[in-house]
Amino acid sequence: MCEVITMGEPMTLFAASDIMPLEESSKFIKFLSGAEVNVAIGLSRLNHKVSYITQLKDDAMGIYIYNCLKKENIDTSYIRFVNQYFNGIQIKERVAKGDPRVINIRKNSASANIDKNIIKDINFKNVKWIHITGIPLGISQKFRETIIEFVKTAKKLGIKVCLDPNLRTHLWESNDKMIEVINSFAKLADIIIPGINEGYILTGMNEPEKIADFYLNIGVQQVIIKLGEKGSYIKEKDKQYIVDGFKVKNVIDTVGAGDGFAVGVLSGLLEGLSLKESVLRGNAIGAIQVMSLGDNDGLPTREELHKFMSKLEG
């Protein structure tokens, strides 16, 4: 039985191996990518049981994605194969610093056409958390409706929901629609973990405390705002505090850092750590993540995480 279920679109990522403009790159390395995939992999490497829900085209890329998930010991019982559509692809630039450019080929993909019928097959027994990002909410109307139905079903069973907005403006018809849908969906979340810039886009407010108040006022129980190297700001009903971040000298790729953060928070809470301790772990895994090329290559095992945090404590 799994502890966490997530649903999203897994993609094949071709990451440029050399630092240069994407249009000049000729050598690429193939990886598995997807925000929810990253979280599933990270939790599994920390020995937590995770199920991943998606729909794939039955072709070479679909089999590659499926096999990667199996290799990471992720439960694939709820992955549906179809003969139509195609599987999403990402092409990512390698940069010396900052965020790389990423090309997405995903419109009308197999995942975008997943429907509510898949929910009836899900076994929610022993599930503690559902992890959702804003990405599938923007991929298609059909995916959005499936996600909402899935989360409402879980909430009725007392399962908690973690929402990472993970804003991807190119997926939405307009920013206004993106803001409307994600803030409406946030009412179903127990925890929301936006970055400070995402919080500004979604609420129009610059200050972490005001962003947090916006979400607390619509029913979210705990708001965690990622502040990059500065750490994370946390606010609950009766308290607020900052958890320090970690400075990283050798940043290779920033993509996936937020997913690593979610891994730390969820794994910590599953293990009975306090929210503050869980966020500290999230900050640590986010820092580890940016030191690797792939979106999830840097996600640590329990031993690697312990070693990283022990060095800092020492």
List, by residue number, the catalytic residues. 259
Residues in contact with 24: Cβ distance below 8 Å, sequence separation at least 6, in sequence order: none
Helices 175-185 and 141-156 cross at an angle (nearest 10°) of: 10
Integer Cα distance of 290 and 258 in angstroms: 10
Strands 240-243 and 232-235: antiparallel
| Angle CA 46–33–229, to nearest 5 | 65
Which residue is associated with the tokens 């772990």?
281
Query: Is 130 within 8 Å of 159 (Cβ atoms)?
Result: yes
Ordered DSSP codes for 183-198:
HHHGGG-SEE--BHHH
- Cα separations (Å) of 216 from 80, 155, 188, 221? 36, 18, 12, 6
**What are the DSSP calls for 71-134, one per residue?**
HTT-B-TTEEEESSS---EEEE-B-SSSPPPEEEE-TT-TGGG--GGGGGG---TT--EEEEEH
